[in-house]
């Protein structure tokens, strides 16, 4: 009996060893040039989460607080724009959530400073889910002359979004090589880190009940994609990183209503360079996003 048990255990271990050896684990680590298609996509979706100030920094007494909710449009990408994998030769499933939202709290500090904390709830949309996506900022009103004002903010974000990007769920296990050319065996669990920090200047001009603003920012983005995909006999755990300094421009307006409420809308424009054809020069393929903001200020 002991001999049979030993033989059975040996066969089981041998089978597990054979399965494990049949699956190759790839752990590549690549630093991308900023204009690579993969880097362009990483920066594009990071830019959708830039925590702009939505106009003039509010005047809050020390200890006074405000709360806000915001919503930004994530434009849908064309088939050509989604061909970013392997230097632009592979299509990725990048059209996930059409919007990105954030809850924001503001607190007045001594000296006219205002601190902000933003959080994107982990709501899953089409397989994409934010994970510990937290942003923060500190700013103050630098100048106020009549209807004109100038504000400055330092802001940043840390966290990630996960989803089945390199191997979407609808391709998992499909045997037709024309439909599933890279042999996706299961939905991938890829993770994009949306880390950045930057400086923003915002001149604003009041005209009646409306206040118009134009913000200019320089943002250091430090993005990373951790791939986790099963393709044929390969478990792909590649890691791609891309860093750059991006300019960002926002134009918009805000208006108060009631005693404590204020709403706003703006257009965010982030120019992004990409080289999709190695035989051609880089081109500008920017992010243009419409955003909405609603804020409540306590007494």
Sign of the torsion formed by the C-alpha atoms of 193, 191, 290 and 268: positive
170-206 pLDDT, tens digit per residue, is: 998 898 988 999 899 999 999 999 999 999 999 999 9
Residue 258: how many CB atoms within 10 A of its CB? Answer: 7
pLDDT at 26: 85
- CATH 2.40.128: does it fit domain 25-297? yes
Distances in Å between the Cα of 272 and the Cα atoms of 47, 170, 199, 210 are 10, 30, 18, 31
Across the chain, what does the average pLDDT equal?
Answer: 91
DSSP state of 37: H
More confident residue, 87 or 215: 215
pLDDT of residue 104: 98
Residue 110 has pLDDT above 70, yes or no: yes
Q: In terms of pLDDT, which residue wins out, 255 or 4?
A: 255
- Please tell me the predicted confidence (pLDDT) of residue 194: 98
Q: Is the pTM of this model over 0.85?
A: yes
Share of the chain above pLDDT 70, in %: 92
Residue-wise pLDDT for 126-135, tens only, equals 889 999 999 9
Query: What is the arithmetic mean of pLDDT over 28-34?
Result: 94
In the chain, pLDDT over 90 holds for what percent of residues?
Answer: 82
Whole-number Å distance between alpha carbons of 12 and 14: 5
Q: Does residue 36 have a pLDDT over 50?
A: yes
Give yes or no for residue 284 having a pLDDT over 70: yes
């Amino acid at each position: 009996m002991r001999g049979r048990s030993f033989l059975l255990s040996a066969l089981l271990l041998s089978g597990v060893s054979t399965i494990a050896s049949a699956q190759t684990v790839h752990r590549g680590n690549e630093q991308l040039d900023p204009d690579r298609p993969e880097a362009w996509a990483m920066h594009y979706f990071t830019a959708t989460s830039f925590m702009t100030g939505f106009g003039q920094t509010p005047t809050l007494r020390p200890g006074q607080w405000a709360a806000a909710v915001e919503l930004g449009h994530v434009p849908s990408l064309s088939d050509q724009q989604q061909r970013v994998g392997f230097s632009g030769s592979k299509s990725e499933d990048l059209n996930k959530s059409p919007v990105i939202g954030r809850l924001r709290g503001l607190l007045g500090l001594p000296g006219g400073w205002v601190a902000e904390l933003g959080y994107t709830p982990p709501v899953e949309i089409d397989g994409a889910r934010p994970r510990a996506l937290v942003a923060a900022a500190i700013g103050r009103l630098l100048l106020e002359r009549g209807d004109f004002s100038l504000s400055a903010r330092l802001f940043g974000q840390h966290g990630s979004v996960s989803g089945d990007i390199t191997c979407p769920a609808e391709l998992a296990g499909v045997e037709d090589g024309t439909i599933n050319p890279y042999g996706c065996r299961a939905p991938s669990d890829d993770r994009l880190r949306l880390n950045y920090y930057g400086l923003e200047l915002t001149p604003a001009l009041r005209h009646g009940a409306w206040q118009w603003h134009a913000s200019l920012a320089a943002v250091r983005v430090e993005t990373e994609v951790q791939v986790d995909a099963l393709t044929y006999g390969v478990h792909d755990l590649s890691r791609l990183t891309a860093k750059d300094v991006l300019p960002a421009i926002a134009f918009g307006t805000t208006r108060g209503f009631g005693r404590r409420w204020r709403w706003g809308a703006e257009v965010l424009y982030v120019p992004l360079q990409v080289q999709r054809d190695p035989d051609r020069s880089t081109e500008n393929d920017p992010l243009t996003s419409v955003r909405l903001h609603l804020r409540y200020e306590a007494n």
